[in-house]
Structure 1
Amino acid sequence: MEDGTAAPAHTPAVLATLGAVAIGPRTHPGGDPTSAPAPAADAGPSAGSPAPSAPITVTVRPSDREAACDQYVVDSPPSEVPRPPAAVDVPAWVARTGAVVGHYQSIELTVQGTGSDTVVLTALNVRIARIAAPLAWNAYSMGEGCGGGVDVHSFDLDLDAARPRPVVTEGGAGLPVKVSERDPEVIEVTAETTSHDVSWYLELEWSSGSRTGTLPIGVRDGTPFRTSAVKGRPLFSYPIGGKAWEPSPFQQ
């Protein structure tokens, strides 16, 4: 493959990372990126003092609503790519093919308190760990139709912007919002790139009483999300009742 083995793009995870991260954008023209370090704990609010333990857990999963919209880029011809999987089998399909999410990546974050105290989610930020030229692989569509409503806490993310930031989806509501052990909240983020291969992760700022902190959120074990543009790449779809991948009528 031209860019190494990709981490699974849709792997559920419960993260409990501490502190904040400060990894700036790194641009690598020519499509030969060097990965930045995975999100790691910061030193804390002051030198010598530990970062506060985050009183929340975050479960990361792909958005079911956008499943039919999903596209992946794979460094293989159609004859060597398995047919589209059921939603529950996506992680295994991604691992088997070395696929990277294409164009859009829509995820849901289920945030829940770990105790009886109320936690306020105050802000959601994005960090770019790596930027490269889009992968020159074939694109494969999981379906030929998609769409849906708007979550209460829903954000759009333009990964091609000079300074990417989550923007509240039209008709939705942003932060702050309160969570507790009995009252979780779901935050949906839909990221898009039409020009790059981007590794990125989120930072969720929280406060509880006198405590504050920032929780980095990635796919699993601190691994960033990864999304590659598909514009100009051969796009294939698997028709309902079909027996093989075929060129999609919705080439980009």
Structure 2
Amino acid sequence: MIAAVTAAAVLAALGAVATGLKTHPGGDPTSAPAPAADTGPSAGSPAPLSPPGAAPVAADVTPSGPTGAADQGASAPITVTVRPSRRDDPECNQYVIDRPPSEVPRPPAVVDAPAWVAKTGAVAGHYQSIGLTVQGIGSDTVVLTALNVRIARIAAPLAWNAYSMGEGCGGGVDVHSFDLDLDAARPRPVVFEGSTGLPLKVSERDPEVIEVNAETTSHDVSWYLELEWSSGNRTGTLPIGLGDGAPFRTSAVKGRPLYRYPTGGKAWEPSPFQK
């Protein structure tokens, strides 16, 4: 089971807001199209996994759970704000970056995380923990019936350096917490022991926070969440990702050179906790 993760300095810059899907890195709302599955690697990314000798192919992009729905995206009577979670637990907060330590700025303050990630091209390493604040629109109560995962792309782990924002793992569990094994044959959110899953009621006056703790030890995974809902005689599925329709992205760090920036230090240095 995936450990609940927090970060003292900063987590991956996941901030997003979804209404239908309105998203923006850093948590500031802006209009964005609903996410679409990647059909292949982006520039500078490794090719998806494929059998030896075979041409690279895109990973299966079918949802990892049931997604039948009458309403999609913009008509959903809920808003979902996506933000980093577990900020006060640093060791689980790692990034992989295609730069040597001399070219990576020191760890940023939390408010500066989005700009730092954008500047360095950082990708969440090993763990990615996000919180979804779900709130109803209008006076009607909305029931959140299921949370599913859609894997957009799976590739070999990024062959980049890993950078840790601190050392040590641990922390508590939110009321509605899910673990997500991105290496599973069909990844799906699993309710964390002692937590409460779905269904769950929300309204304009009574929002709820759902935490998702994703982990990969073997791949570079691009993925979306899909939140199923019902309200009266309406049902639907709300896709959740980053701004501009981009998916969340998490890469394994095992075997990669790991660096840390010591408190009071002036440069990145090799971490004693190499994996």
**Fold agreement, TM-score > 0.5:** yes
Q: Distance in 2 between matches of 1:50 and 1:153?
A: 24
Maintained 8 Å contact 2:73/2:239: no
1:61-210 equivalences in 2 (<5 Å): 61-65=83-87, 68=90, 69-210=92-233
Cα shift readout 1:106-127 (whole Å, capped 9, x = no counterpart): 0000000011110000100001
Maintained 8 Å contact 1:9/1:226: no
Distance verdict in 2 for CA 1:81–1:35, change over 3 Å: farther
Question: Residue type of the partner of 2:254?
Answer: K
Give me the TM-score of the superposition, normalised by structure 1: 0.85
Equivalent position of 1:60 in the other structure: 82
Maintained 8 Å contact 1:65/1:148: no
Any idea what SS the aligned residue of 1:28 has? coil
Structure 1: give runs of 5+ residues left out of the alignment.
1-7
Question: Residue type of the partner of 2:264?
Answer: G
Question: Residue type of the partner of 2:124?
Answer: V
Equivalent position of 1:16 in the other structure: 19
Question: Residue type of the partner of 1:223?
Answer: A
RMSD of aligned Cα (Å): 3.0
Any idea what SS the aligned residue of 2:222 has? strand
Q: Distance in 1 between matches of 2:48 and 2:222?
A: 12
Distance verdict in 2 for CA 1:25–1:33, change over 3 Å: closer
Give me the TM-score of the superposition, normalised by structure 2: 0.78
Question: Residue type of the partner of 1:28?
Answer: P
Equivalent position of 1:28 in the other structure: 48
2:258 corresponds to which of 218, 231, 235: 235
Identity within the alignment, %: 76
Distance verdict in 2 for CA 1:107–1:77, change over 3 Å: same
Q: Distance in 2 between matches of 1:231 and 1:169?
A: 24
Equivalent position of 1:4 in the other structure: none
Runs of 4 or more above 4 Å deviation:
20-27, 32-37, 49-52
Maintained 8 Å contact 1:44/1:52: no
Maintained 8 Å contact 1:35/1:130: yes
Which segment drifts farther, 143-152 or 101-110? 143-152
Structure 2: give runs of 5+ residues left out of the alignment.
1-10, 22-33, 41-46, 51-55
Any idea what SS the aligned residue of 2:236 has? strand
Question: Residue type of the partner of 2:222?
Answer: S
1:214 Cα deviation from its structure 2 partner: 0.3
Distance verdict in 2 for CA 1:79–1:35, change over 3 Å: farther
Question: Residue type of the partner of 1:54?
Answer: A
